[in-house]
Structure formats: C-alpha cells, structure tokens
Amino acid sequence: MAKIPVQFTLNGAEKAEFFDSGTTLLNALRDKIGDTSPKGGCHQGTCGACSVIIDGELRLSCLTLAETCNGAAITTTSGLSQGGVLHPLQRAFLDAFATQCGFCTPGMIMAAKVLLDHTPDPSRDDVVEALSGNICRCTGYEPIIQAVLTAARSNSQNAA
Amino acid sequence: MELRKSYFADQRKDDLHEIGQPRPRSDSPGHVTGKTAYFADRNLPGMLHLKMVRSPHHHARIRSIDTSEAQVHPGVVKILTAKDVPHNVYTILILIQIGPEDETVLADGKVRWKGEAVVAVLAETERAAQEAAAKVKIDYEVLPAVFDMEEALKPGAPVVNEYHGRNYYLYDSGECRKVRFGDVEAGFAGADHVLEQTYQSSPIEHAPTETTGCIVAPEGNDRFTCYTNTQAMFFTLDNASIILQMPGNRLHFVGGTVGGGFGGKVDVIVEPIAILGAKLTGRPVSFIYSREEEMQISSPRAAEKVVIKDGVMKDGRIVARKVTGYTDAGAYSRHSPYGAQKGAGHYPGPYTIPNVWIDTYCVYTNRTPSSAMRGFGVTIGDFALEVQMDKLARLIGMDPLEFRFINAYRDGDMKAHRQPTEGAALIECMQEASRAANWPVAEKFMAMSSHAKGA
C-alpha cells in the first residue's frame, strides 16, 4: 500500500511521518506519533472522545484522514499544560470533580478550549451546546459544565 | 452538602472528617492531562489484531466451518476454532461453585444467540482480520428459537442450552429461588384490597465510552501479560487460567483503569481467546470490540418480568405480598443465576410484611446473554416495587409517603428471608426527604424512629 508523507505540528512540535492512505488521524496520532490522549470510543464520529483541534477548529480525529493534515497545526489535550503548569481548563476539571472514568475528558477539554478561544465569556447554554457532541457515559455532565464556566471566569480574571 | 449526625447520635461515637468534604481524586491529574494509561494506549511491535466471525442466527446447528479462503487472505496469521481452546466450555461463576459450565469460548456444533463467537481470525492489521473474517464460510442448520421467557418455560419449547437441558436454571431449591414467610394466602383472604400488577423491562446496554478489550503480550518465558479493562481482574485471571488450562502464575494481568464499565466489563469474554492467540502465534494480540460489538455483543442488563400481588388494609398496612420474578439470562448463565437469586432476597423491599411468598426464575432464551449492571437483580425489582407502592397508596386513598412510613422496616423486624433488620434508616431518610422535597406528612410520622419501635 502506498505510503503518504505527512508533515504537521503537534502541540507546537514538528512531526513528519509516512502513513498508509486511509489512516485516520486518530490512529496516526495514537499508533505512529505516540500521543494517546485522543481516545477511540466509537470510530464513527458520534462520541467525541477523539476530538482534537486542527488549525483552531474542533475536529473528530476518527473521521479525519491523516493525509489531509499536511501543514496543519494540531493541538491535543496532552499538549495543554505548559512547564508542568495545568491549563485553566485542566485545573478547573480537576477542582470541579469533572472527571470520573476519564475516558471522555481529553475530548471534553478540547471542545471546551475551542469554545473559550472563540467565546471567552460563554453562557451556560453556550457551554452545553459546545459539549453536545461529547458523550460522558458516567453522566457527570453537570460538574463538566461548571468546570468550563469556572475556567472561563479564571481566564477573564487573568486577563483583567 | 450537610451532614446530619443527630439521627444516630447515640449509635455513632466516631467523628467523621471526610464526609461532606471535597477531596481531590488521585486519578484526576492523569485524566485532565491525557496521561492516564487505558489498556489500548499501547502499540506493541508486531501486534496482531483479532476479529470474530459471529453467528448471524439466533439458534442454529453448525454443519461445517470452512476457513480455507480466509487462511490465505493476505495478512492472516492464525485462525482459531473451538478445537483450539483447551477448556472450551466454561461458566464464570464456577469459581464460587455455581455451575454447570454452559458456555463455549468459540461455538462448538451449535450457536444459541445471534452474535455468538464462532471463529477467531488473527491478522497483521485490523482491516485484514475483518476482511478474512468475512471469508470464513459456515454452514448452519437454522433451529427454532425462543425469545420470550413465558414461551421458553412452556412444555415443548426449544431447549436453548443443552448443558442445562431445560430453559431455567436449576437451583438447589428447585426451578426457582423461593422465600416463604408466614401464610400469604391467609394474608390475601384477610386483606381489604388485593392488587396484582405485572412489570416488565427490556435489556439495557451499558454503552461505556471505552469499548471492551484487551492487549496481550507474550513475554518470551511462557508468561503472558494481559492489559485489560475488565472490572473483575481476579475473576478474569482465574477463569482464563481454567479456560487455557494454564497456571495462574503464567498470567500477569494489568488493569484497574476502566473507561466506563457499569457492570458491563465483568464477563470473561475477550481475555482468554486473546491470550490463546498470543500463545499460538508468539506475538502480541489486540482484541478490542468495535462500537457495534459493544452495543450488540456485550452482555446487557437482563430483561425482567415481575408479577407483584399485594394484600393491603384500609389503614395502610400491607399484610401479604407475593412476587414472581423472571430474569432473562439469554443463552448462557454468566451472572444471571446470581442476579435472580439476589432478587429473591430483595423483593419484599424495605418494608415489613408478615406474609411473603417469592419465586424468582433465571430463564434461558436465544437472546444475547445478559449479565451484571448496576444493582442487577434488584434495580428493576425496586422500580416495580415502588410503582406498586404508589398504586397501593392510590387504591386506599392514602398519601404515598405516609403509606411507606406505615410499612417501613425498623430495627428488630424480621425480614422474609429470616434476617433480622439491623441499622435501618429508611424512616430517617424519608423524614429528610419530606423536608427537602417540601412534601409534608403527619407529625406522628416525623416522630417515628427506625430503632425506637414504640415511638
């Protein structure tokens, strides 16, 4: 099978790899690049556990082909903390008891980050809408919503 | 959150420091940074992928299996059938002496539910395994199937599982678990009203976000490391040891991190066959359910049917309760004989009733085998019981909460299964609920106590 060379940045670091045509970005990141923070829950675009940020947009890595990511800037949850300091969203998820089994958490944080990047001061409805593509089967949605709202407040305080 | 210590102040001398206080979870930092290692977060060099060929029929005899075309499919390394499994017929609760062994790891001669595993294909890639699995040819003779518990219990119904020889689990107490307390018929005869209702539930899938699976690595010294998301490490280890006829000291299970389970990951389904694949190929093996398999193949909560007949007095006392419970195990036992048995102990509910009769049946049908899920055996029963309680209260024109106070069990009351009640707190919970929900009840109920019978 033909291998396709793909170059992109992952959390700011340059990556170059050959992928089989048809390889999903999810499998590419997990199996080839070694970033296992995006999770495979359904491999059909319904659970949101594989969510990553590509060029500022929230994307499902299980429905994105690696070969379409040439030149892209990709962000995953594993790249959010800087110098051992948690990102405000990570801090808020931790403090708000917003994780149970943790499997949906990286995808939730990605969806929340894109929301706050575009809408720094979201309403509760904005948060619910932004997380609507991410399934938490432990059903801990309420603390997750609170965590995102808390992170938004701490962001605005930092900015002020 | 408020912690009320006043209720049992005379019983509890210890000071509780943790309850009501937030405490960080030790696993949260890993979750929020994406560093928590789930079983699938490893990609071992040379890893093979296992895919199952599954039965398209609910009940069928296997006339022949032809793997010749699949064998030569590019990327295929090994194909396993029933004869490759050292101890192919097993049952997970054999570890606590609940037999007989009634389930096959890979179907041998017969399939008993749609989706049953028949042939395992190991290949270099997931895709090759999937393609080769589609090339396995199985000739089936379709047999009559039964999907309804009442139909299954009728004489002449197709026998689902020959290891039982009948469509119900045979307990040491007979065809069902039985509880007999007082004289239930005399209770009905003396009751002001008798109400019989039937409650039914469908199977429920846990649908965890992380699907069931494991990755097995042969360690080169006849030992195997199994990375798994089982919720039952030692159950799985011991059953794998039986199925593989391999001493437990050759099996190293690594797990405990589960991406959602809810009871759906306590069966021993993926590990034994993956370990066998690793043993026979000498290579790491990954066996991970697809989302479709998780929804269609993994055990759901059992469908249940509950028939409750109650005798009640105008003053609110329940004087007789007869319950017949049916648990749909599907084609194999797994945890269902235990679930049905739990129901028998649970069914009078948290109420003191002088005359009780309970029968609970574990029934076999050609449906997907059911198993554990959050309070299995009692959850559906509680739904039925509490709906019944509301109906009884309406029948005699009484407030449903006050009706429960009248019947609530209290310390010292004998339960139907002959365990005296200890440490009851139902009255106190209902008093708090009455306040919290702003659902007032008569003062005499607010003055009641679980452990001062005279109050």
Please tell me the predicted confidence (pLDDT) of residue B245.
98
pLDDT by residue (tens digit) across A51-69? Answer: 999 999 999 999 999 999 9
Domain residue limits at A142: 88-159
Q: Which residues pair with B310 in a beta bridge?
A: B195, B321
pLDDT by residue (tens digit) across B356-410? Answer: 999 999 999 999 999 999 999 999 999 999 999 999 999 999 999 999 999 999 9
CA distance A143 to chain B (A): 13
Please tell me the predicted confidence (pLDDT) of residue B47.
98
The domain B48-143+207-296 having CATH identifier 3.90.1170.50: the answer here is: yes
Q: Which chain A residues are closer than 8 Å to B28 by Cβ?
A: 93-94, 97, 99, 102
Q: Does the beta-carbon distance from B262 to A86 stay under 8 Å? A: no
Is A133 part of the contact surface with chain B (CB cutoff 8 Å)?
no
Using the 3D structure, point to which of A79, A102, A124 is the last residue of a domain: A79
Q: Is the pLDDT of residue B10 over 80?
A: no
pLDDT by residue (tens digit) across A70-125? Answer: 999 999 999 999 888 999 999 999 999 999 999 999 999 999 999 999 999 999 99
Is B32 part of the contact surface with chain A (CB cutoff 8 Å)?
yes
pLDDT confidence band for B1 (50 / 70 / 90)? low
Q: What are phi and psi of B2, to 5 degrees?
A: -120, 135
pLDDT by residue (tens digit) across B59-81? Answer: 999 999 999 999 999 999 999 99
Using the 3D structure, point to which of A36, A52, A79 is the last residue of a domain: A79
Nearest 5°: the CA angle B246, B252, B256 is 130
Nearest to B328 by CA among B319, B315, B337: B337
Q: Of residues B17 and B200, which shows the higher confidence score?
A: B200
pLDDT by residue (tens digit) across B118-140? Answer: 999 999 999 999 999 999 999 99
CA distance B1 to chain A (A): 15
CATH code of the domain covering residue A61: 3.10.20.30
pLDDT confidence band for B18 (50 / 70 / 90)? confident
As a whole number, mean pLDDT of residues B320-349 equals: 95
Report how many domains make up chain A.
2
Q: Could you report the predicted ipTM of this complex, rounded to two decimals? A: 0.96
Using the 3D structure, point to which of A46, A79, A112 is the last residue of a domain: A79
As a whole number, mean pLDDT of residues B318-338 equals: 97
Q: Does the beta-carbon distance from A41 to B33 stay under 8 Å? A: no
The dihedral region occupied by B292, where left means phi > 0, alpha psi between -120 and 50, and beta the remainder, is alpha
The reply to whether A69 and A108 lie within a common domain is no
The reply to whether A45 and A104 lie within a common domain is no
Of A42, A43, A78, the CB nearest to B34: A78
Q: Which chain B residues are closer than 8 Å to A138 by Cβ?
A: 260
The reply to whether A66 and A95 lie within a common domain is no
Prior bond of B100 cis (ω within 30°): yes
CA distance B219 to chain A (A): 21
**Strand B285-288 vs strand B48-54: parallel, antiparallel, or unpaired?**
parallel
Q: Does the beta-carbon distance from B32 to A103 stay under 8 Å? A: no
Q: Does the beta-carbon distance from B33 to A40 stay under 8 Å? A: no
The domain B177-204+300-446 having CATH identifier 3.30.365.10: the answer here is: yes
The reply to whether A9 and A74 lie within a common domain is yes
Q: Is the pLDDT of residue B82 over 70?
A: yes
Please tell me the predicted confidence (pLDDT) of residue B455.
45
Please tell me the predicted confidence (pLDDT) of residue B453.
57
Strand (E) or helix (H) holding B429: helix B426-436
| Average pLDDT, rounded, for chain B | 95
Q: Fold match between B48-143+207-296 and B177-204+300-446?
A: no
CA distance A32 to chain B (A): 9
Report CA-CA distances (Å) from B329 to B77, B108, B179, B299. 35, 20, 21, 10
Task: Determine the Cα–Cα distance for residues B106 and B194; give it in Å rounded to an integer.
Answer: 50
Q: Does the beta-carbon distance from B209 to A103 stay under 8 Å? A: yes
The reply to whether A93 and A135 lie within a common domain is yes
The reply to whether A36 and A55 lie within a common domain is yes
CA distance A36 to chain B (A): 6
Is A106 part of the contact surface with chain B (CB cutoff 8 Å)?
yes
Q: Does the beta-carbon distance from A86 to B32 stay under 8 Å? A: yes
The reply to whether A75 and A92 lie within a common domain is no
Percent of chain A with pLDDT over 90: 91
Q: Give residue limits of the domains in chain B.
A: 48-143+207-296, 177-204+300-446
Q: Which chain A residues are closer than 8 Å to B262 by Cβ?
A: 137
Contact indicator for B355, B313 with CB cutoff of 8 Å: no
